[in-house]
Chains A and B, each alone.
Chain A
Amino acid sequence: MISWVIVIVALLVSGLWAVMFLKQLKSGLGQTALEDHFAWGLYVQGFFFFSALAGGILIFMAVATLFQLQSIRPLVETGSAVSLGCLAAAALLLGSDLGKPFRGIKILTGKNFASPLTWDFYMLTLCGILGLVFFLGWIPQTGPLAVLWAVLCLLAALGYVMIHTLFFLSRVGAGFRSQPFLGLDTLAQSLLGGVALMNLIALVSGIHFPNVGRLLLVLASVTLIPLVGGHIASLSIKSRVMEQKKIIALDSFILAALAIVVMFAPESRVIPALLSVLILVAVFLEKSHLMKQYQIKPTLPLPYSRYEDVPQYSPSTSEWILAFGGVGVCVFFSTLIMNLKFFL
Protein backbone atom coordinates (compact mmCIF):
# COMPACT_ATOMS: atom_id res chain seq x y z
CA MET A 1 0.00 0.00 0.00
CA ILE A 2 2.74 2.44 1.08
CA SER A 3 4.76 1.65 -2.05
CA TRP A 4 1.76 2.36 -4.31
CA VAL A 5 1.16 5.70 -2.62
CA ILE A 6 4.83 6.54 -3.16
CA VAL A 7 4.61 5.53 -6.84
CA ILE A 8 1.49 7.67 -7.43
CA VAL A 9 3.05 10.68 -5.68
CA ALA A 10 6.26 10.11 -7.65
CA LEU A 11 4.27 9.96 -10.89
CA LEU A 12 2.54 13.26 -10.12
CA VAL A 13 5.81 14.91 -9.13
CA SER A 14 7.49 13.56 -12.28
CA GLY A 15 4.64 14.96 -14.40
CA LEU A 16 5.07 18.41 -12.90
CA TRP A 17 8.80 18.02 -13.27
CA ALA A 18 8.46 17.15 -16.97
CA VAL A 19 6.33 20.27 -17.59
CA MET A 20 8.88 22.49 -15.85
CA PHE A 21 11.73 20.77 -17.67
CA LEU A 22 10.16 21.43 -21.07
CA LYS A 23 9.45 25.03 -20.09
CA GLN A 24 13.07 25.38 -19.05
CA LEU A 25 14.27 23.95 -22.37
CA LYS A 26 12.07 26.39 -24.26
CA SER A 27 12.90 29.56 -22.36
CA GLY A 28 16.49 28.85 -21.30
CA LEU A 29 18.27 29.63 -18.06
CA GLY A 30 17.09 33.24 -18.07
CA GLN A 31 14.14 32.25 -15.87
CA THR A 32 16.42 31.01 -13.08
CA ALA A 33 17.96 33.10 -10.32
CA LEU A 34 21.43 32.19 -11.52
CA GLU A 35 23.77 34.97 -12.54
CA ASP A 36 27.37 35.39 -13.61
CA HIS A 37 28.70 35.55 -10.05
CA PHE A 38 26.67 32.56 -8.96
CA ALA A 39 26.72 30.39 -12.05
CA TRP A 40 26.05 27.01 -10.47
CA GLY A 41 22.93 26.69 -8.35
CA LEU A 42 20.28 24.19 -7.31
CA TYR A 43 20.49 22.13 -10.49
CA VAL A 44 24.17 21.43 -10.01
CA GLN A 45 23.61 20.85 -6.28
CA GLY A 46 20.92 18.32 -7.22
CA PHE A 47 23.21 16.75 -9.80
CA PHE A 48 25.96 16.32 -7.20
CA PHE A 49 23.44 14.97 -4.70
CA PHE A 50 21.87 12.32 -6.93
CA SER A 51 25.16 11.26 -8.48
CA ALA A 52 26.65 10.93 -4.96
CA LEU A 53 23.77 8.66 -3.98
CA ALA A 54 24.17 6.60 -7.16
CA GLY A 55 27.92 6.30 -6.54
CA GLY A 56 27.33 5.22 -2.93
CA ILE A 57 24.79 2.58 -3.95
CA LEU A 58 27.06 1.21 -6.69
CA ILE A 59 29.98 0.95 -4.24
CA PHE A 60 27.69 -0.88 -1.81
CA MET A 61 26.54 -3.25 -4.57
CA ALA A 62 30.13 -3.94 -5.64
CA VAL A 63 31.23 -4.74 -2.08
CA ALA A 64 28.19 -6.97 -1.50
CA THR A 65 29.00 -8.84 -4.73
CA LEU A 66 32.70 -9.19 -3.93
CA PHE A 67 31.99 -10.56 -0.46
CA GLN A 68 29.16 -12.75 -1.79
CA LEU A 69 26.66 -11.43 0.77
CA GLN A 70 23.74 -13.57 -0.36
CA SER A 71 21.48 -12.44 2.47
CA ILE A 72 21.23 -8.94 1.02
CA ARG A 73 21.09 -9.97 -2.63
CA PRO A 74 17.42 -8.88 -3.05
CA LEU A 75 18.34 -5.49 -1.59
CA VAL A 76 21.30 -5.17 -3.95
CA GLU A 77 19.09 -6.02 -6.92
CA THR A 78 16.56 -3.38 -5.93
CA GLY A 79 19.46 -0.98 -5.28
CA SER A 80 20.63 -1.38 -8.88
CA ALA A 81 17.28 -0.01 -10.10
CA VAL A 82 17.46 2.89 -7.64
CA SER A 83 21.04 3.68 -8.68
CA LEU A 84 19.79 3.91 -12.26
CA GLY A 85 16.99 6.18 -11.07
CA CYS A 86 19.50 8.40 -9.27
CA LEU A 87 21.72 8.52 -12.36
CA ALA A 88 18.73 9.44 -14.52
CA ALA A 89 17.75 12.24 -12.13
CA ALA A 90 21.38 13.45 -12.01
CA ALA A 91 21.71 13.44 -15.81
CA LEU A 92 18.40 15.26 -16.28
CA LEU A 93 19.35 17.90 -13.72
CA LEU A 94 22.69 18.39 -15.43
CA GLY A 95 20.81 18.71 -18.71
CA SER A 96 18.57 21.36 -17.12
CA ASP A 97 21.62 23.32 -16.13
CA LEU A 98 23.20 23.47 -19.58
CA GLY A 99 22.67 26.53 -21.69
CA LYS A 100 22.58 24.28 -24.75
CA PRO A 101 21.44 20.86 -23.47
CA PHE A 102 21.06 19.35 -26.95
CA ARG A 103 24.74 19.92 -27.58
CA GLY A 104 25.65 17.76 -24.55
CA ILE A 105 26.86 14.99 -26.85
CA LYS A 106 29.71 17.30 -27.93
CA ILE A 107 31.41 16.35 -24.64
CA LEU A 108 32.14 12.98 -26.27
CA THR A 109 33.72 14.56 -29.32
CA GLY A 110 35.50 17.30 -27.35
CA LYS A 111 37.98 14.78 -25.89
CA ASN A 112 39.41 17.29 -23.44
CA PHE A 113 40.64 14.89 -20.81
CA ALA A 114 41.89 17.70 -18.59
CA SER A 115 38.29 18.68 -17.98
CA PRO A 116 36.52 17.16 -14.95
CA LEU A 117 33.23 17.45 -16.81
CA THR A 118 34.51 15.19 -19.58
CA TRP A 119 35.48 12.53 -17.05
CA ASP A 120 32.19 13.00 -15.26
CA PHE A 121 30.33 12.35 -18.50
CA TYR A 122 32.29 9.18 -19.24
CA MET A 123 32.04 7.88 -15.68
CA LEU A 124 28.32 8.65 -15.51
CA THR A 125 27.84 6.62 -18.68
CA LEU A 126 30.04 3.77 -17.40
CA CYS A 127 28.21 3.65 -14.05
CA GLY A 128 24.91 3.61 -15.92
CA ILE A 129 26.03 0.70 -18.11
CA LEU A 130 27.38 -1.27 -15.13
CA GLY A 131 24.19 -0.64 -13.14
CA LEU A 132 22.08 -1.69 -16.12
CA VAL A 133 23.88 -4.98 -16.80
CA PHE A 134 23.52 -5.88 -13.13
CA PHE A 135 19.87 -4.89 -13.14
CA LEU A 136 19.18 -7.01 -16.21
CA GLY A 137 20.60 -10.03 -14.35
CA TRP A 138 23.57 -10.51 -16.65
CA ILE A 139 25.97 -10.67 -13.72
CA PRO A 140 26.03 -14.02 -11.89
CA GLN A 141 26.11 -14.10 -8.08
CA THR A 142 29.60 -15.67 -7.97
CA GLY A 143 32.48 -16.42 -10.30
CA PRO A 144 35.02 -14.41 -12.32
CA LEU A 145 32.44 -12.31 -14.13
CA ALA A 146 30.93 -11.22 -10.82
CA VAL A 147 34.38 -10.25 -9.51
CA LEU A 148 35.22 -8.40 -12.73
CA TRP A 149 31.92 -6.51 -12.59
CA ALA A 150 32.43 -5.67 -8.91
CA VAL A 151 35.94 -4.33 -9.49
CA LEU A 152 34.88 -2.29 -12.52
CA CYS A 153 31.88 -0.98 -10.61
CA LEU A 154 34.00 -0.09 -7.61
CA LEU A 155 36.54 1.76 -9.76
CA ALA A 156 33.90 3.57 -11.80
CA ALA A 157 31.81 4.60 -8.79
CA LEU A 158 34.83 5.66 -6.72
CA GLY A 159 36.27 7.50 -9.69
CA TYR A 160 32.93 9.13 -10.33
CA VAL A 161 32.67 10.32 -6.74
CA MET A 162 36.24 11.61 -6.69
CA ILE A 163 35.82 13.49 -9.98
CA HIS A 164 33.33 15.67 -8.18
CA THR A 165 36.24 16.93 -6.12
CA LEU A 166 38.09 17.81 -9.31
CA PHE A 167 35.35 20.23 -10.33
CA PHE A 168 36.89 22.82 -8.09
CA LEU A 169 40.51 21.97 -8.80
CA SER A 170 41.06 24.95 -11.02
CA ARG A 171 40.16 27.23 -8.16
CA VAL A 172 42.01 25.18 -5.57
CA GLY A 173 45.05 25.12 -7.84
CA ALA A 174 44.85 28.86 -8.16
CA GLY A 175 45.13 29.20 -4.40
CA PHE A 176 41.45 29.71 -3.82
CA ARG A 177 39.44 28.66 -0.82
CA SER A 178 40.58 25.05 -0.70
CA GLN A 179 39.19 22.44 1.62
CA PRO A 180 41.96 19.88 2.18
CA PHE A 181 39.54 17.10 3.10
CA LEU A 182 37.18 17.64 0.19
CA GLY A 183 38.04 14.31 -1.49
CA LEU A 184 37.40 12.24 1.62
CA ASP A 185 34.34 14.29 2.47
CA THR A 186 32.84 13.73 -0.99
CA LEU A 187 33.46 9.97 -0.77
CA ALA A 188 32.12 9.64 2.78
CA GLN A 189 28.97 11.65 2.00
CA SER A 190 28.36 9.49 -1.03
CA LEU A 191 28.66 6.23 0.92
CA LEU A 192 26.54 7.46 3.81
CA GLY A 193 23.84 8.85 1.51
CA GLY A 194 23.85 5.69 -0.62
CA VAL A 195 23.42 3.37 2.37
CA ALA A 196 20.75 5.64 3.90
CA LEU A 197 18.79 5.47 0.65
CA MET A 198 19.23 1.69 0.50
CA ASN A 199 17.86 1.51 4.03
CA LEU A 200 14.75 3.43 3.01
CA ILE A 201 14.31 1.17 -0.02
CA ALA A 202 14.64 -1.87 2.24
CA LEU A 203 11.96 -0.52 4.56
CA VAL A 204 9.51 0.28 1.76
CA SER A 205 10.14 -3.00 -0.09
CA GLY A 206 10.02 -5.11 3.09
CA ILE A 207 13.55 -6.41 2.48
CA HIS A 208 15.74 -7.20 5.49
CA PHE A 209 18.86 -5.04 5.77
CA PRO A 210 21.00 -6.64 8.49
CA ASN A 211 23.12 -4.42 10.77
CA VAL A 212 22.06 -1.25 8.98
CA GLY A 213 22.32 0.80 12.18
CA ARG A 214 25.92 -0.26 12.73
CA LEU A 215 26.85 0.36 9.09
CA LEU A 216 25.31 3.83 9.18
CA LEU A 217 27.13 4.50 12.45
CA VAL A 218 30.51 3.65 10.89
CA LEU A 219 29.80 5.76 7.81
CA ALA A 220 28.49 8.68 9.88
CA SER A 221 31.81 8.67 11.77
CA VAL A 222 33.77 8.61 8.52
CA THR A 223 31.66 11.53 7.28
CA LEU A 224 32.00 13.67 10.36
CA ILE A 225 35.80 13.61 10.55
CA PRO A 226 36.57 15.32 7.18
CA LEU A 227 33.87 17.88 7.91
CA VAL A 228 35.50 18.70 11.23
CA GLY A 229 38.91 18.70 9.52
CA GLY A 230 37.66 21.19 6.96
CA HIS A 231 36.27 23.37 9.72
CA ILE A 232 39.59 23.36 11.62
CA ALA A 233 41.32 24.25 8.36
CA SER A 234 38.93 27.19 7.94
CA LEU A 235 39.82 28.41 11.43
CA SER A 236 43.55 28.12 10.78
CA ILE A 237 43.39 30.11 7.53
CA LYS A 238 40.67 32.42 8.84
CA SER A 239 38.29 31.62 5.99
CA ARG A 240 34.76 32.06 7.26
CA VAL A 241 33.44 30.96 3.89
CA MET A 242 34.56 27.43 4.61
CA GLU A 243 32.79 27.26 7.95
CA GLN A 244 30.24 24.51 8.10
CA LYS A 245 29.07 24.53 11.70
CA LYS A 246 25.44 23.72 10.95
CA ILE A 247 26.29 20.66 8.86
CA ILE A 248 28.74 19.47 11.49
CA ALA A 249 26.04 19.91 14.17
CA LEU A 250 23.54 17.94 12.09
CA ASP A 251 26.04 15.16 11.37
CA SER A 252 27.02 15.02 15.06
CA PHE A 253 23.36 14.66 16.00
CA ILE A 254 22.93 11.86 13.46
CA LEU A 255 26.04 10.11 14.79
CA ALA A 256 24.90 10.38 18.42
CA ALA A 257 21.38 9.20 17.59
CA LEU A 258 22.72 6.23 15.63
CA ALA A 259 25.05 5.31 18.51
CA ILE A 260 22.08 5.38 20.93
CA VAL A 261 19.97 3.26 18.56
CA VAL A 262 22.76 0.67 18.16
CA MET A 263 23.28 0.54 21.94
CA PHE A 264 19.69 0.46 23.15
CA ALA A 265 17.41 -0.48 20.24
CA PRO A 266 19.48 -2.48 17.73
CA GLU A 267 16.40 -4.17 16.22
CA SER A 268 14.52 -0.93 15.58
CA ARG A 269 13.79 -0.22 11.91
CA VAL A 270 11.81 2.97 12.25
CA ILE A 271 14.45 5.11 13.98
CA PRO A 272 17.25 4.24 11.50
CA ALA A 273 14.76 4.99 8.71
CA LEU A 274 13.99 8.41 10.17
CA LEU A 275 17.69 9.02 10.60
CA SER A 276 18.24 7.95 6.99
CA VAL A 277 15.92 10.74 5.86
CA LEU A 278 17.92 13.14 8.02
CA ILE A 279 21.15 11.81 6.48
CA LEU A 280 19.84 12.52 2.98
CA VAL A 281 19.00 16.07 4.09
CA ALA A 282 22.51 16.44 5.55
CA VAL A 283 24.11 15.17 2.32
CA PHE A 284 22.08 17.65 0.25
CA LEU A 285 23.01 20.49 2.63
CA GLU A 286 26.67 19.57 2.29
CA LYS A 287 26.43 19.69 -1.51
CA SER A 288 24.63 23.00 -1.26
CA HIS A 289 27.32 24.36 1.04
CA LEU A 290 30.02 23.18 -1.35
CA MET A 291 28.46 25.17 -4.19
CA LYS A 292 28.12 28.30 -2.10
CA GLN A 293 31.60 27.95 -0.65
CA TYR A 294 33.15 28.49 -4.07
CA GLN A 295 30.84 31.18 -5.34
CA ILE A 296 29.55 33.29 -2.50
CA LYS A 297 32.45 35.76 -2.48
CA PRO A 298 33.55 37.96 -5.36
CA THR A 299 36.27 36.30 -7.41
CA LEU A 300 38.63 39.24 -7.34
CA PRO A 301 40.44 40.02 -4.08
CA LEU A 302 40.19 43.23 -2.14
CA PRO A 303 40.51 46.11 -2.77
CA TYR A 304 39.50 45.49 -6.41
CA SER A 305 36.16 43.92 -5.49
CA ARG A 306 35.22 46.53 -2.90
CA TYR A 307 32.35 47.88 -4.96
CA GLU A 308 31.20 44.50 -6.21
CA ASP A 309 28.05 43.04 -4.74
CA VAL A 310 28.37 39.78 -2.89
CA PRO A 311 26.20 37.43 -4.94
CA GLN A 312 22.94 36.51 -3.25
CA TYR A 313 21.33 33.45 -4.72
CA SER A 314 17.63 32.83 -4.06
CA PRO A 315 16.48 30.00 -6.34
CA SER A 316 13.35 30.61 -8.41
CA THR A 317 10.22 28.45 -8.07
CA SER A 318 11.04 26.52 -11.23
CA GLU A 319 14.50 25.74 -9.87
CA TRP A 320 13.04 24.40 -6.61
CA ILE A 321 10.53 22.27 -8.50
CA LEU A 322 13.12 20.89 -10.90
CA ALA A 323 15.70 20.19 -8.19
CA PHE A 324 13.39 18.57 -5.64
CA GLY A 325 11.22 17.00 -8.32
CA GLY A 326 14.36 14.99 -9.08
CA VAL A 327 13.40 12.80 -6.10
CA GLY A 328 10.10 12.00 -7.81
CA VAL A 329 11.89 11.31 -11.09
CA CYS A 330 14.33 8.99 -9.32
CA VAL A 331 11.57 7.04 -7.54
CA PHE A 332 9.32 6.91 -10.62
CA PHE A 333 12.13 5.83 -12.96
CA SER A 334 13.37 3.10 -10.58
CA THR A 335 9.86 1.76 -10.00
CA LEU A 336 9.10 1.87 -13.70
CA ILE A 337 12.16 -0.14 -14.73
CA MET A 338 11.62 -2.61 -11.87
CA ASN A 339 8.07 -3.22 -13.07
CA LEU A 340 9.19 -3.43 -16.69
CA LYS A 341 11.73 -6.07 -15.69
CA PHE A 342 8.99 -7.97 -13.86
CA PHE A 343 6.74 -7.95 -16.92
CA LEU A 344 9.56 -8.92 -19.27
Chain B
Amino acid sequence: MRYGMVIDLQKCVGCNSCTVACRAEQGTPAGVHFHKVMKYEAGKYPNAKMRFLPMPCMHCQDPPCLKVCPTGATYKRDDGPILIDHEKCIGCRACMVACPYDSRQFLWDIRNYYAGHPATPYEQIKQKTFDKGTVVKCNFCVQRLKRGRLPACVETCPAGARKFGDLDDPESEPSRLIVLYRGAPFREELGTEPSVFYIKG
Protein backbone atom coordinates (compact mmCIF):
# COMPACT_ATOMS: atom_id res chain seq x y z
CA MET B 1 0.00 0.00 0.00
CA ARG B 2 1.41 3.37 -1.00
CA TYR B 3 -0.78 6.42 -1.16
CA GLY B 4 -0.05 8.67 -4.08
CA MET B 5 -1.53 11.37 -6.25
CA VAL B 6 -1.63 12.18 -9.92
CA ILE B 7 -2.17 15.76 -11.06
CA ASP B 8 -3.20 16.28 -14.67
CA LEU B 9 -1.66 19.61 -15.69
CA GLN B 10 -3.79 19.64 -18.84
CA LYS B 11 -6.87 19.89 -16.68
CA CYS B 12 -5.55 22.27 -14.03
CA VAL B 13 -6.92 25.78 -14.54
CA GLY B 14 -4.98 27.38 -11.70
CA CYS B 15 -8.09 28.31 -9.71
CA ASN B 16 -6.41 27.60 -6.37
CA SER B 17 -9.51 25.79 -5.05
CA CYS B 18 -7.11 23.12 -3.79
CA THR B 19 -5.17 25.70 -1.79
CA VAL B 20 -8.37 27.12 -0.27
CA ALA B 21 -9.78 23.66 0.49
CA CYS B 22 -6.51 22.69 2.14
CA ARG B 23 -6.52 25.79 4.32
CA ALA B 24 -10.14 25.19 5.30
CA GLU B 25 -9.50 21.54 6.11
CA GLN B 26 -6.29 22.03 8.04
CA GLY B 27 -7.17 25.42 9.54
CA THR B 28 -3.68 26.74 8.91
CA PRO B 29 -2.82 30.12 10.46
CA ALA B 30 -2.55 33.16 8.19
CA GLY B 31 0.51 32.97 5.93
CA VAL B 32 0.85 29.19 6.22
CA HIS B 33 -0.02 27.14 3.15
CA PHE B 34 0.40 23.39 3.04
CA HIS B 35 -0.38 23.55 -0.63
CA LYS B 36 0.61 26.08 -3.25
CA VAL B 37 0.05 26.57 -6.95
CA MET B 38 3.11 27.86 -8.78
CA LYS B 39 2.36 29.86 -11.91
CA TYR B 40 4.79 30.30 -14.74
CA GLU B 41 4.93 31.33 -18.36
CA ALA B 42 5.58 29.00 -21.26
CA GLY B 43 6.45 30.15 -24.76
CA LYS B 44 6.98 33.68 -26.00
CA TYR B 45 4.68 36.44 -27.17
CA PRO B 46 2.38 36.13 -29.11
CA ASN B 47 2.21 32.44 -28.19
CA ALA B 48 2.91 32.80 -24.49
CA LYS B 49 0.73 30.86 -22.07
CA MET B 50 0.28 31.00 -18.33
CA ARG B 51 0.73 27.57 -16.81
CA PHE B 52 0.22 26.21 -13.33
CA LEU B 53 1.97 23.70 -11.16
CA PRO B 54 0.01 22.65 -8.06
CA MET B 55 2.45 21.59 -5.36
CA PRO B 56 1.48 19.65 -2.28
CA CYS B 57 4.21 17.86 -0.29
CA MET B 58 5.60 15.20 -2.61
CA HIS B 59 5.63 12.56 0.16
CA CYS B 60 8.87 11.16 -1.22
CA GLN B 61 9.80 7.53 -0.73
CA ASP B 62 13.39 8.61 -0.12
CA PRO B 63 12.79 11.93 1.62
CA PRO B 64 15.76 14.21 2.38
CA CYS B 65 13.73 15.87 5.16
CA LEU B 66 13.43 12.59 7.06
CA LYS B 67 17.16 11.91 6.90
CA VAL B 68 18.19 15.24 8.39
CA CYS B 69 15.63 15.33 11.21
CA PRO B 70 17.71 14.84 14.39
CA THR B 71 14.85 13.86 16.69
CA GLY B 72 12.89 11.55 14.42
CA ALA B 73 10.00 14.02 14.43
CA THR B 74 9.63 13.51 10.69
CA TYR B 75 8.59 9.96 9.99
CA LYS B 76 7.18 7.87 7.16
CA ARG B 77 4.03 5.84 7.55
CA ASP B 78 3.95 2.34 6.10
CA ASP B 79 1.34 3.48 3.59
CA GLY B 80 3.49 6.35 2.30
CA PRO B 81 2.65 9.73 3.85
CA ILE B 82 5.52 11.65 5.46
CA LEU B 83 4.29 13.14 8.71
CA ILE B 84 5.61 15.31 11.54
CA ASP B 85 5.27 14.45 15.21
CA HIS B 86 4.91 17.94 16.67
CA GLU B 87 5.80 16.76 20.15
CA LYS B 88 9.23 15.75 18.88
CA CYS B 89 9.95 18.70 16.58
CA ILE B 90 12.60 21.03 18.05
CA GLY B 91 12.25 23.62 15.28
CA CYS B 92 15.80 23.32 13.91
CA ARG B 93 14.52 23.76 10.33
CA ALA B 94 17.09 21.35 8.89
CA CYS B 95 14.22 19.67 7.03
CA MET B 96 13.24 22.96 5.40
CA VAL B 97 16.78 23.49 4.14
CA ALA B 98 16.90 19.91 2.86
CA CYS B 99 13.53 19.83 1.08
CA PRO B 100 14.03 20.49 -2.65
CA TYR B 101 10.33 21.25 -3.13
CA ASP B 102 9.84 24.03 -0.57
CA SER B 103 7.08 21.96 0.97
CA ARG B 104 7.69 22.86 4.59
CA GLN B 105 6.95 25.94 6.61
CA PHE B 106 8.00 27.05 10.04
CA LEU B 107 5.47 28.47 12.46
CA TRP B 108 7.31 31.70 13.28
CA ASP B 109 4.07 32.94 14.81
CA ILE B 110 0.44 31.89 14.82
CA ARG B 111 -1.47 34.74 13.23
CA ASN B 112 -5.19 35.26 12.76
CA TYR B 113 -6.67 35.90 9.34
CA TYR B 114 -8.30 39.12 10.51
CA ALA B 115 -5.36 41.13 11.78
CA GLY B 116 -6.20 43.21 14.85
CA HIS B 117 -9.24 41.08 15.65
CA PRO B 118 -9.50 38.07 17.94
CA ALA B 119 -9.42 34.60 16.40
CA THR B 120 -12.69 33.37 14.97
CA PRO B 121 -14.31 30.37 16.73
CA TYR B 122 -13.06 28.15 13.88
CA GLU B 123 -9.53 29.53 14.25
CA GLN B 124 -9.65 29.04 17.99
CA ILE B 125 -10.35 25.33 17.49
CA LYS B 126 -7.90 24.76 14.66
CA GLN B 127 -5.05 26.79 16.12
CA LYS B 128 -4.89 24.37 19.02
CA THR B 129 -3.45 21.80 16.64
CA PHE B 130 -0.51 24.08 15.76
CA ASP B 131 2.53 24.50 17.94
CA LYS B 132 4.48 27.73 17.46
CA GLY B 133 8.18 27.08 16.85
CA THR B 134 7.70 23.83 14.94
CA VAL B 135 7.66 22.90 11.26
CA VAL B 136 4.43 22.05 9.44
CA LYS B 137 3.55 20.58 6.07
CA CYS B 138 0.91 18.79 4.00
CA ASN B 139 -0.05 15.47 5.55
CA PHE B 140 -2.05 14.03 2.62
CA CYS B 141 -5.10 14.65 4.85
CA VAL B 142 -4.47 11.46 6.82
CA GLN B 143 -7.31 12.43 9.17
CA ARG B 144 -9.69 12.22 6.19
CA LEU B 145 -8.14 9.02 4.82
CA LYS B 146 -8.86 7.43 8.20
CA ARG B 147 -12.54 8.20 7.66
CA GLY B 148 -12.42 6.80 4.13
CA ARG B 149 -12.46 10.19 2.45
CA LEU B 150 -10.12 11.66 -0.13
CA PRO B 151 -7.71 14.55 0.63
CA ALA B 152 -9.50 17.91 0.59
CA CYS B 153 -7.59 19.15 -2.49
CA VAL B 154 -8.60 16.06 -4.49
CA GLU B 155 -12.23 16.20 -3.45
CA THR B 156 -12.57 19.88 -4.21
CA CYS B 157 -10.79 20.16 -7.57
CA PRO B 158 -13.50 21.46 -9.97
CA ALA B 159 -11.57 20.31 -13.04
CA GLY B 160 -11.05 16.79 -11.72
CA ALA B 161 -7.32 17.23 -12.27
CA ARG B 162 -6.34 15.20 -9.21
CA LYS B 163 -6.62 11.48 -8.65
CA PHE B 164 -5.64 9.84 -5.41
CA GLY B 165 -5.13 6.18 -4.59
CA ASP B 166 -2.80 3.26 -4.05
CA LEU B 167 0.24 3.46 -6.32
CA ASP B 168 1.16 -0.13 -5.50
CA ASP B 169 -2.11 -1.31 -7.02
CA PRO B 170 -1.73 -1.36 -10.83
CA GLU B 171 -5.53 -1.22 -11.18
CA SER B 172 -5.96 1.96 -9.15
CA GLU B 173 -6.92 5.10 -11.07
CA PRO B 174 -3.67 6.99 -10.41
CA SER B 175 -1.57 3.95 -11.41
CA ARG B 176 -3.50 3.56 -14.65
CA LEU B 177 -3.20 7.27 -15.45
CA ILE B 178 0.55 7.24 -14.81
CA VAL B 179 0.99 4.35 -17.24
CA LEU B 180 -1.45 5.69 -19.82
CA TYR B 181 -0.15 9.27 -19.93
CA ARG B 182 3.45 8.66 -18.86
CA GLY B 183 3.05 10.51 -15.59
CA ALA B 184 6.28 11.61 -13.98
CA PRO B 185 7.27 13.19 -10.67
CA PHE B 186 8.48 16.77 -10.50
CA ARG B 187 12.30 16.94 -10.52
CA GLU B 188 12.60 13.18 -10.86
CA GLU B 189 16.35 13.56 -11.34
CA LEU B 190 16.79 14.34 -7.65
CA GLY B 191 16.09 10.71 -6.82
CA THR B 192 13.72 11.44 -3.93
CA GLU B 193 11.02 9.18 -5.45
CA PRO B 194 7.97 11.41 -4.92
CA SER B 195 4.49 9.96 -4.52
CA VAL B 196 2.97 12.83 -6.47
CA PHE B 197 3.04 12.41 -10.23
CA TYR B 198 2.21 14.90 -12.96
CA ILE B 199 0.68 14.41 -16.34
CA LYS B 200 2.21 17.10 -18.49
CA GLY B 201 0.13 19.67 -20.25
Q: A residues within 8 Å of B by Cβ?
A: 28-30, 32, 34-37, 39-40, 97-101, 103-104, 106-107, 109-112, 114-118, 121, 167-168, 170-171, 173-176, 294-295, 298-301, 303-307
Which of B62-70, B120-128, B140-148, B163-171 makes up part of the contact surface? Answer: B62-70
* Residue of B39, B71, B190, B192 contacting most chain A CB atoms (<10 Å): B71
B97 touches A295 (CB 8 A): yes
Which of B14-22, B100-108, B150-158, B176-184 makes up part of the contact surface? Answer: B100-108
Q: Which of B73, B90, B99, B101 contacts A104 (CB 8 A)?
A: B90
Q: With both chains docked as a complex, state the minimum distance between the C-beta of B104 and any C-beta of chain A, in angstroms.
A: 8
B91 touches A99 (CB 8 A): yes
In the complex, B53 has a CB within 8 A of chain A: yes
B191 / chain A contacts, CB cutoff of 8 Å: 174
A to B CB contacts below 8 Å, 6 in the list? A28-B108, A29-B106, A34-B108, A100-B89, A103-B88, A103-B90
- A324 to B126, alpha carbons, bound, how many Å? 39
Known A-B contacts A99-B90, A175-B189; A112 and B133 likewise in contact (beta carbons under 8 Å)? no
- A167 to B92, alpha carbons, bound, how many Å? 12
In the complex, B83 has a CB within 8 A of chain A: no
Smallest CB gap from A120: residue in B:
B70
* Residue of B39, B89, B93 contacting most chain A CB atoms (<10 Å): B93
B100 / chain A contacts, CB cutoff of 8 Å: 171, 174, 176, 299
Smallest CB gap from A30: residue in B:
B109
Smallest CB gap from B192: residue in A:
A174
Q: Which of A36, A167, A300, A303 contacts B101 (CB 8 A)?
A: A300
- A117 to B102, alpha carbons, bound, how many Å? 20
B64 touches A40 (CB 8 A): no
In the complex, B114 has a CB within 8 A of chain A: no
B68 touches A299 (CB 8 A): no
A294 / chain B contacts, CB cutoff of 8 Å: 97
B53 / chain A contacts, CB cutoff of 8 Å: 304
* Residue of B68, B72, B96, B134 contacting most chain A CB atoms (<10 Å): B68
B190 touches A174 (CB 8 A): yes
Interchain residue pairs A-B with the least CB separation, the first 9: A99-B91, A99-B133, A110-B71, A170-B98, A30-B109, A117-B70, A303-B40, A170-B64, A39-B93
- A74 to B44, alpha carbons, bound, how many Å? 71
In the complex, B94 has a CB within 8 A of chain A: yes
- A37 to B106, alpha carbons, bound, how many Å? 10
A29 / chain B contacts, CB cutoff of 8 Å: 91, 106, 108, 133
B135 / chain A contacts, CB cutoff of 8 Å: 99
A99 touches B98 (CB 8 A): no
- Please count how many residues in chain B sit with their CB below 8 Å of the partner chain's CB atoms: 44
Q: DSSP majority for the B interface? A: loop
- A171 to B93, alpha carbons, bound, how many Å? 14
B69 / chain A contacts, CB cutoff of 8 Å: 110, 112, 115
- A304 to B189, alpha carbons, bound, how many Å? 16
- A168 to B94, alpha carbons, bound, how many Å? 9
B70 / chain A contacts, CB cutoff of 8 Å: 107, 110, 112, 115, 117-118, 121
- A306 to B42, alpha carbons, bound, how many Å? 11
Chain B, 29-52, contact with A by CB distance < 8 Å: what is the 0/1 string?
000000000111110000000000
- A98 to B104, alpha carbons, bound, how many Å? 16
A110 touches B68 (CB 8 A): no
B97 touches A114 (CB 8 A): no
In the complex, B149 has a CB within 8 A of chain A: no
In the complex, B132 has a CB within 8 A of chain A: yes
A167 / chain B contacts, CB cutoff of 8 Å: 94, 97
A110 touches B105 (CB 8 A): no
Q: With both chains docked as a complex, state the minimum distance between the C-beta of B14 and any C-beta of chain A, in angstroms.
A: 12
Smallest CB gap from B135: residue in A:
A99
* Residue of B73, B97, B107, B189 contacting most chain A CB atoms (<10 Å): B97
Q: With both chains docked as a complex, state the minimum distance between the C-beta of B89 and any C-beta of chain A, in angstroms.
A: 7
Known A-B contacts A115-B67, A170-B68, A174-B64; A99 and B102 likewise in contact (beta carbons under 8 Å)? no
B97 touches A36 (CB 8 A): no
Smallest CB gap from A36: residue in B:
B105
B132 touches A303 (CB 8 A): no
- A59 to B132, alpha carbons, bound, how many Å? 39
A114 / chain B contacts, CB cutoff of 8 Å: 67-68
A109 / chain B contacts, CB cutoff of 8 Å: 71
Q: Known A-B contacts: A114-B68, A306-B40. Give 10 more (CB < 8 A).
A: A28-B132, A39-B96, A97-B92, A110-B71, A110-B73, A115-B68, A116-B68, A167-B97, A300-B102, A304-B40
